[in-house]
Structure 1
Amino acid sequence: MTRHHREPGRYLDTLAYRCTPDLVGDDVVYLRNLGAETRTLWENFDRACQKRYGNDSAQAPYSIATTVLSVLTGGYVYFEPSGPQPFLASRERIDDKLLCRVFTLTYGLAQGTAIHEIDLRQPPQLAQKIADTPESEVYLAEHIRPQAGTQPVAPNWVFRTIAWGLAQKLAGPWTVREGLTIPLRPDVTGGLIALDDPWENDQGGRYALSRTALTLQTVPNIATPVLMVTSRVTRISDSLIYSRTVLAVQPGDDHPILEVGLHGGGGARTISRYALEALGRLKMDYSILQAIATRSQAEQRMRAEAIAEAGRDRKPTLKFPRERPDQIWPVLPKSRPFPIGVGSGMHHLRVLNQHILGRLEDRAEPLVARATAMALPHRPTDPEKVSKAEMDRRKVEREATGSKKALRGRGSAFPEPASIAAAVKAAGFTKLRLVCLWYRDETRLRMIAALAKTYGLETEGLDPHDGQEIDLFGGTITAVFHLAADFLAHGSPNGRTKALRPAAAGLDPSGGVLIGAWCETHIPTIDDLPGLKPAELEDADAKPQSKTILASKDIASQYLLGKNTNGIIEPKDPDHPAEMALLDLYRSLGIIDDRIAKALRPETRHAEYGADRIAHVGFHIRQQNKRKGEKSSPRTVVTATALIPQTAPGDVWQLLGWSSTVASWQPYRPAQNQFHETEYPQETGGKKSYRQRWDDVGTVIEQALQDLVEELDGRPYIVTVDEDSARRIWDGLQNSKQGSRPDTRKSKYWLPGYSLQDDERPDAVIRVNIADNRVPPPIAYTRVLSSRDAVTEGETTNALYEIETDFSTPVWVLCNVPRNYDGGNSGRLGAKYTRWDAKRSVISDNREERRKSEMPEPWYSMTATEIFPIALNDRVFHEALAVATAQLCHQTLYWSGRARYPVALHAAIQMDEGHPQYRRTAQSLDEEEDGSALPVEE
């Protein structure tokens, strides 16, 4: 239960605690503030490394020094050589002479000097400067004392090091339940690992660890920093040579678990030989790193033998021993099939909260967040409203018949066909034709079934011939099917346009017909294209090739996966992937049905500032990192949408689109199509600094808003952006700048639209954030009744909560219960117990006794979206904007559940994610990240 409840109401319980001097206590770090001269010397070192390696994005390999120093000091070291405040911090003192030698070796090895040729008596200026910088003992509590009315102003090294001591305080026995106590060990990142009690799959031999991360963050208008606690499942690989990170138990007592980045690739990853050489030259104990290197060498020999035995034309069979790790725990590098699922589950988080409150006692002060009254729009898929009497009748009937049918049914995920037809007519078209392109009959039947369900048609006898147009709704919406195996086949782009000719009649927009293409696809494999290398498969993928062709014809497209790694997909009922693909096709067509108008009906207390009367604009900003072999600068992609309200009741909302490739506002469908038929924009104007690149993006967006003002013709608007990508452009979005003046900024622009004239600026900027480690993680809620001593507790909530701030405007958190957790057949894994008590599979001839293992399943937890309205004029009602943002997350265009982003921003994100150059194999959300800065090694 949340502490410090004041008034009756519903309060959110989170793993977020004020980080006060009392919480930190007498924790110290040893700090060297390196200063501007050291930063300049390091920048020169960076340039020398870039010249040597022929790579203008290469960095000086400071991980050599941090790895060596971590081994020498027991683990806790953080080195930040660049930025406005370069520093070196550690939890133990570092001898000046030893430090000078470490950086002398780092410098020499990076320059290509052999280890035995580096003269430790002649240190470079950089190494000497770092060693000469005085080391001071710093009490962390002194740097987080709150100042009334201001955001925390602690230096960066405080945020990087404060978790070290907090993790030590929380380490030790953790009582998960009666009879089960799990030891928690600290790690060098400032987190906790349950290394002594790994989770194991039913068959044995595969392992995963519970890891808890402690991060110090700021929350808008909270005077103290906030400790955010998150939990994840770290799955352990049976091989080291394919991992990017390894966890290692250091020799000696009271040392944290070491986390080390590995180097190399292609089945040859190992510990940095530079670090090994440096430690060997220093004659220090580096047995833990040597053990990692020895294991890597053994695995590489096994791999080489397997390849030699298989021969050139056969794939080698390579199996590594699956014994429980002891000292070395390689982290699984990707989210690949694994017999232990992701996610810790809700109960895990709640007992973790109890452990934190029990260990830290009154020093741990949770944030207070109180529920905001909000009427959520009723969605077509929400459970039907049934009286108690009818519920009782259905329950009796179900028990009598043995039926498992839900007591409350759900409607279709789709809007009313009349609403879709009205949007088509409002866009100036005579009708909508859905052209279904397929190459497997199973996928064709799925498309037919989804269309029949959407438009209330009988599937019996519904079997259109190739090219036959069938009526779906009153002659305004039709569909036509074409076998398009050649057009959709993976391979060379040559001849693909010609292969589309048999479907030309269906794709003809003559007579004012709006065309949407629904296409089959699957991710290409070596089996599809024998002879190609795995790295070449992405370029042979038919999906981006065919999407580009359709976009050039101004045809919106959406793809349905017909096959996966398990073979041809046999969907469950309902076929959610097909239904959601069809809904997303409507989004690509720019169709805004009546669900949006219903979602934004203003509440009485917000009537003076109705969110249904303003335009909702979303800007999505993303940097596309370079692929291997690319030498250009990273590409910055910007897409935007404007959701414009109806001019009169009953009218249709409009959706405009914009991109930095085609910088003009137009209806969403042609805006997206033109964006998809062009390549991502390249950086122009020569080589630019980090600040100049992001200022240029700000300039482009300011012009886009200037152009939008003319389109809106005086209608007020708000702009929504994601904090993670946008704060690099606008200083006014950053927590540290709240309450500051615009003239204190480093960026060229303060906020989106701020440079425009007063009457052209947006009413407000809505900053949203979904990062799990920066938004208070929800775990439960507590309802305080009229009597202060009377409380009730709940496990999940989907309400909107206002965080009690110390000053200025509030910030809200929208809680989300994942559909997979809350669904009728989900089982709500992790709701009542942790993975240590996961039920194992039971195989039995008796159907009632059979049980599926819970260990391989994902265990879901609540998520949260932070909503922070920043007003740009006096007429803004902050709560109305927070509620409207939450409503537009609750009612999406493309999905039957909630989205983490509101409609306008999500539609802009989908524009980018549908681009042919967007990587289809993009990293998934639950993929492990090691975050290490690896040196380039020869």
Structure 2
Amino acid sequence: MSVSLDGRGLRQTNKHALEILAKMSTDRSSLTAIEERVTDERNRLNAKDENGKRIDILTPPPGAIRPTMPKTDSFAVGTGAGIYHLSLLRDHVQRVFGNTASLLDLKSKGNVFGKRAHEPATAAQAKEKKQKKEDGEYVDLIGKPSPEGIHRSVEAAGYKKLRILCLWYREATLTRMIHGLAHPYGLDPHDIDPDPSGEKTIPLADGIEAVFCNAEALLEHGPGTQRTADAQTIISKFAEPGVLLAAWCETEIPVRGEEHEGMKSAEVKTALAENDAKHQVVRELAKAAVPSQFLVGREYDSFTKTFNIIKKPAKAFEDHRVYMGVLDLYRSCGVVDDRFERALYPDDDPYPLPRMAFCGIHIRKQATDRKYKGAPKRIITASAIIPSPEPGGPWRMIGWSNIHPRWEHYALAQSNFHAANYPLHTENGDSDFQRWAQAGDDVRTALQELHDELDGLPYALMIDGHASRRVWPGLHNNKQGLGKDPDDPRLWLPASGLPPSWNPVGIIRMNCAQAEMPRLVAVTEKQKNGKTVPLKTSSDLYYPEDRPEGHPWFLFTEPRNYGKKRHGQWKTRWRAKPGKASKNADERKENELNSPWYSMTTREITPMHTRDGYDREILAVAAARLSHQALSWADRTRYPAPLHAALQMDLGHPQFRRSEPKDHESIEILKEASGY
């Protein structure tokens, strides 16, 4: 049971949860223990030393009650209950409810995914990759796109070449950037000798080149009164007609300093946000239609109160931030390469997919601001991944937002979105309900204009059902088979009112909110000899065994830390070791509470309102494959690629942190969506 405590004690709790506790004959001791726990933690947080500074402390030792979310870094608690805990809960539910509660049994047809670019296809390749890692040589651990694929995607967007502008102000970061670009293109980093003045253009591959430029004045934190002029000077120096210019910039997270002494926490937070060069640079580059990505060059250690410059690791493949940053820069450039052709249209595919596009719609409510009357407008971003009409051709990715409502090449759409402010709250008195209805109208406009971009190519629409459940009643489970409510002003479906041929061939409703998902407790596999064996993990696509009409599919994902820390496989958090803090590394002991515990995440994939001639299972498999083959990640993203790209447009906006929602439900949506 999860409860929220504030002030004098229990503020709110779930009535259904209390009914379950009563059914299990639980007394009030748990609620009392929760209040005592919070009181103790509040006293610890308020404790100060003789100089009036807060005392750094560890999370208190485990007890019967624990916090489930961190309040500060000192009270960090990792995520995930652990699969062992889930199995205990399952056994307890079975004992208490007996035959009155039935568990959900799922089945799978096995692996529906092909090998990704960075995954060895044979035992010999796996052996060679392992040997290279042991020798410290570069190996592809992220599934980088091919140079040919990048160039073809850039050309399909109307450009002749891609020029990566590397802006740095520390030699260590320059070295990391050089290695991060050289290795994926098969170049020797020592052969790249950038001109200190930034005049030298270095070819990486056909149609792809890099420029390295020291830009400390542009990138340093502060009010940035000259930042606009500095950005224009650099851009005018390297921009050319027919060249897609993209910026890879060094940055660091601003922290509290001596200049903030005597200021309140809220004032410090505001000052840091206003002087954060990253958001200012994003805005200036976006005005010139230059997509950007940032690389942290220095980190602050809150325990030792010191800064650490991040240097190139000893092994060539270990600088994950660098390689992931380059991948995300390609995503900002709208690069969709042949990895997606292989993922969606493999040879001899038992799930044959017609040539079709996929569109993802992201909707978010801004934070309510007392300075403005009325409900805030919704933020809507969209992206569409469009395959070539014939196999083997270049793919395209386009974007759209309700700030700049026009379908454009993704890099340009994202720049136009980042260059403009979020829409302000209006004073017309529109209610929250009306704002959701207006969001539905905006999406219909986007889909109407998308028809012209696809030139007759069919498309499937992907939405986050949890985030947009207030927009389209026709996508609710309890509304299936019913007609539109005449008293409800909202659109029934995203494309309601458009000609039938302009409608999507199917709406794929995604849900990644783990609190609403079935959690995988045990997996059994039937072998060829007929024996059934238990498995520890599964990353397959599952469906309910009885397959009711309109059923969803569930994609389970093995945690990335599996094989390293498996705390949740063997015990619950009640048995976790609290660890020991020390300034001496040899004396430190791991705080197991901080670790993400072993348990698998779940995505729900529900194809709905599918047009005749299109198979729901094939669309579900396609959505799973678009999560499995990520745009800018070594593993699966929570959302399929089009929906992920739409989300990233919003997350990268300079104003995002100051307008992100504060209500618990919306925070959970964004947390689940932005996590990998």
TM-score (norm 2): 0.84
Does 2:238 match 1:507?
yes
Alignment check: 8 A CA contact 1:333 1:928 kept: no
1:890 maps to which of 614, 628, 644: 628
User: SS of the counterpart of 2:368?
Assistant: coil
1:162 maps to which of 2, 11, 16: 16
Does 2:146 match 1:416?
yes
Rate the CA distance shift 1:696–1:418 in 2: closer, same or farther, 3 A: same
Alignment check: 8 A CA contact 1:618 1:642 kept: yes
Aligned to 1:95: none
* Aligned 1:78-89 pairs, distance under 5 A: none
Aligned to 1:735: 477
CA distance in 2, matches of 1:925, 1:598: 40
> By how many angstroms is 1:921 displaced?
11
Aligned partner letter, 1:738? Q
Aligned to 2:171: 441
CA distance in 1, matches of 2:358, 2:543: 22
> By how many angstroms is 1:730 displaced?
0.1
Aligned to 1:534: 268
Does 2:257 match 1:524?
no
Aligned to 2:279: 544
Aligned to 2:674: none
Rate the CA distance shift 1:411–1:565 in 2: closer, same or farther, 3 A: closer
Aligned to 1:716: 458
CA distance in 2, matches of 1:321, 1:850: 12
Alignment check: 8 A CA contact 1:552 1:674 kept: yes
Aligned partner letter, 2:230? A
Alignment check: 8 A CA contact 2:510 2:606 kept: yes
2:641 maps to which of 890, 899, 903: 903
2:344 maps to which of 600, 604, 607: 600
> By how many angstroms is 1:605 displaced?
6.9
Aligned to 1:479: 210
* Aligned 1:290-329 pairs, distance under 5 A: 310=51, 316-318=53-55
User: SS of the counterpart of 1:479?
Assistant: strand
> By how many angstroms is 1:680 displaced?
0.9
Rate the CA distance shift 1:444–1:916 in 2: closer, same or farther, 3 A: same
CA distance in 2, matches of 1:741, 1:664: 32
CA distance in 1, matches of 2:318, 2:360: 32
CA distance in 1, matches of 2:59, 2:109: 51
Alignment check: 8 A CA contact 1:583 1:893 kept: yes
Alignment check: 8 A CA contact 2:365 2:661 kept: no
Alignment check: 8 A CA contact 1:780 1:795 kept: yes
Alignment check: 8 A CA contact 1:815 1:862 kept: yes
User: SS of the counterpart of 1:509?
Assistant: coil
> By how many angstroms is 1:662 displaced?
0.6
> By how many angstroms is 1:354 displaced?
3.0
1:351 maps to which of 74, 88, 95: 88
Rate the CA distance shift 1:529–1:578 in 2: closer, same or farther, 3 A: farther
Rate the CA distance shift 1:294–1:671 in 2: closer, same or farther, 3 A: closer
CA distance in 2, matches of 1:575, 1:673: 28
Rate the CA distance shift 1:745–1:619 in 2: closer, same or farther, 3 A: farther
Give the number of the structure whose alpha-carbon radius of gyration is greater.
1
CA distance in 2, matches of 1:359, 1:778: 20
CA distance in 1, matches of 2:255, 2:58: 28
CA distance in 1, matches of 2:384, 2:668: 37
Aligned partner letter, 2:436? W
- What fraction of aligned residue pairs are identical, expressed as a percent? 35
Does 2:155 match 1:425?
yes
Aligned partner letter, 1:816? T
Aligned partner letter, 1:498? A
1:561 maps to which of 296, 300, 324: 296
2:116 maps to which of 373, 379, 392: 379
Q: Which moved more, 1:543-552 or 1:531-540?
A: 531-540
Alignment check: 8 A CA contact 1:443 1:520 kept: yes
Rate the CA distance shift 1:614–1:634 in 2: closer, same or farther, 3 A: same
Rate the CA distance shift 1:514–1:668 in 2: closer, same or farther, 3 A: same
CA distance in 2, matches of 1:653, 1:732: 32
Rate the CA distance shift 1:296–1:370 in 2: closer, same or farther, 3 A: closer
1:781 maps to which of 491, 510, 523: 523
Does 2:664 match 1:810?
no
User: SS of the counterpart of 2:227?
Assistant: coil
Specify every segment of 5 or more residues in structure 1 that has no aligned partner in the other structure, as ranges: 1-62, 79-159, 172-185, 187-252, 261-287, 932-938
> By how many angstroms is 1:906 displaced?
0.5
User: SS of the counterpart of 1:492?
Assistant: coil
> By how many angstroms is 1:768 displaced?
0.2
* Aligned 1:616-765 pairs, distance under 5 A: 616-626=358-368, 633-684=375-426, 686-743=428-485, 746-765=488-507
Rate the CA distance shift 1:605–1:326 in 2: closer, same or farther, 3 A: closer
Aligned to 1:582: 326
> By how many angstroms is 1:526 displaced?
2.1
Aligned partner letter, 1:871? H
Rate the CA distance shift 1:920–1:345 in 2: closer, same or farther, 3 A: farther
User: SS of the counterpart of 2:167?
Assistant: strand
User: SS of the counterpart of 1:759?
Assistant: helix
> By how many angstroms is 1:832 displaced?
3.4
Aligned to 2:656: 918
* Aligned 1:821-836 pairs, distance under 5 A: 821=562, 826-835=564-573
Alignment check: 8 A CA contact 2:374 2:428 kept: no
Rate the CA distance shift 1:620–1:292 in 2: closer, same or farther, 3 A: closer
User: For each residue in 1:822-852, what CA deviation from the matched residue of structure 2 results, as whole angstroms up to 9, or x when unmatched?
Assistant: 5xxx244433344455579899xxx999986
Alignment check: 8 A CA contact 2:376 2:435 kept: no
TM-score (norm 1): 0.62
User: SS of the counterpart of 1:375?
Assistant: coil
Rate the CA distance shift 1:692–1:504 in 2: closer, same or farther, 3 A: closer
Rate the CA distance shift 1:293–1:795 in 2: closer, same or farther, 3 A: closer
Does 2:217 match 1:464?
no
Aligned to 1:177: none
Alignment check: 8 A CA contact 1:292 1:328 kept: no
User: For each residue in 1:29-77, what CA deviation from the matched residue of structure 2 results, as whole angstroms up to 9, or x when unmatched?
Assistant: xxxxxxxxxxxxxxxxxxxxxxxxxxxxxxxxxx99x999x98xxx9x8
Specify every segment of 5 or more residues in structure 2 that has no aligned partner in the other structure, as ranges: 302-307, 670-676
CA distance in 2, matches of 1:928, 1:727: 12
User: SS of the counterpart of 2:123?
Assistant: coil
Aligned to 1:15: none
> By how many angstroms is 1:358 displaced?
3.8
CA distance in 2, matches of 1:460, 1:694: 55
Aligned partner letter, 2:182? A
Rate the CA distance shift 1:868–1:405 in 2: closer, same or farther, 3 A: farther
Alignment check: 8 A CA contact 1:484 1:500 kept: no
> By how many angstroms is 1:756 displaced?
1.0
CA distance in 2, matches of 1:519, 1:687: 42
Rate the CA distance shift 1:762–1:450 in 2: closer, same or farther, 3 A: same
> By how many angstroms is 1:758 displaced?
1.4
Rate the CA distance shift 1:902–1:680 in 2: closer, same or farther, 3 A: same
Alignment check: 8 A CA contact 2:176 2:311 kept: no
Rate the CA distance shift 1:661–1:603 in 2: closer, same or farther, 3 A: same
Does 2:600 match 1:862?
yes
CA distance in 2, matches of 1:340, 1:321: 11
Alignment check: 8 A CA contact 2:366 2:661 kept: no
Aligned partner letter, 2:465? E
Alignment check: 8 A CA contact 2:297 2:310 kept: yes
Rate the CA distance shift 1:323–1:416 in 2: closer, same or farther, 3 A: closer
- Count of residue correspondences: 647
> By how many angstroms is 1:504 displaced?
4.0
Alignment check: 8 A CA contact 2:357 2:459 kept: yes
